[in-house]
Chains A and B, each alone.
Chain A
Amino acid sequence: MLVLSRKVNEVIQIADNIEIRILEVKGDTVRIGIEAPKSIEILRGELVQSITETNQEALTIDMDLLKQLMKKE
């Protein structure tokens, strides 16, 4: 992993179209501004993790329940 130290208002440039700016550091919270093309997906890491876990959980399917549903409808 590349590790860089930055001060407030300093920028990290990624390729020629992504710019990450440190806006504010307050306690243990860092506010970051990101400029990137609209086609680049930007998501909070814990949200992606939550979707991943929900997908994995969704694979566990109770076959009895499924059979009941098929009869019910």
Chain B
Amino acid sequence: MRIETKFHATIEIDSADKWCFPKGIPGFENETDFVLLPIEGSDSLQVLQSTKQQEVAFIVANPYTLVTDYTFELDYATIDLLEISQPEEIMVLGILSMKQPYHQSTINLQAPLIFQVRNKKAKQMILNDPRFTVRHPLDKGGN
């Protein structure tokens, strides 16, 4: 299928590459279908692009490459929604708020994106954990 994207113009995607967010994302509850697209020249950043709304596209990164000591427990609601049975089935990404200059950019560690790689379901899980913030500075470790 062809989709309009924010950073990659109009592209052809395989519907098997779509990730389904059954409940959308907080603030974008109607956006349930996304694809992960590479950013040319970047190994660490990707774009999470809505397949329906061109302007809904987030820059995402693997939080473990950017911060140390990031561990959390999956809540049962997420395990249930995504039908997770093995730890190997999940992939975790964080949404970046990009700022100029780059070192002022932040990553949302309080609401990680959880992807179930077997059934391609995903969810932004909200952690009830005061150790993590929605705007964690990127300049601490990594990049």
Contacts and interface: CB of A to CB of B under 8 A. Distances in A.
Contact of A39 (B6, B77, B108, B128): B77
Contacts of A41: 75, 77, 126
A66 B126 contact: no
Interface residues of A, number: 28
Interface in B34-89: 39-45, 55-59, 75-77, 80-81
A26 interface: no
Interface string A38-57: 11110110011011111111
Contacts of A65: 98-102
Given A43-B126, A61-B98, A55 B58 contact: yes
Interface of A: 38-41, 43-44, 47-48, 50-59, 61-62, 64-66, 68-71, 73
17 contacts: A41-B75, A51-B110, A51-B111, A51-B134, A52-B26, A54-B108, A55-B25, A55-B95, A55-B111, A59-B57, A61-B59, A61-B98, A66-B98, A68-B102, A69-B41, A69-B42, A70-B42
Interface of B: 6-7, 25-28, 39-45, 55-59, 75-77, 80-81, 95-102, 108, 110-111, 124, 126, 128, 134-135
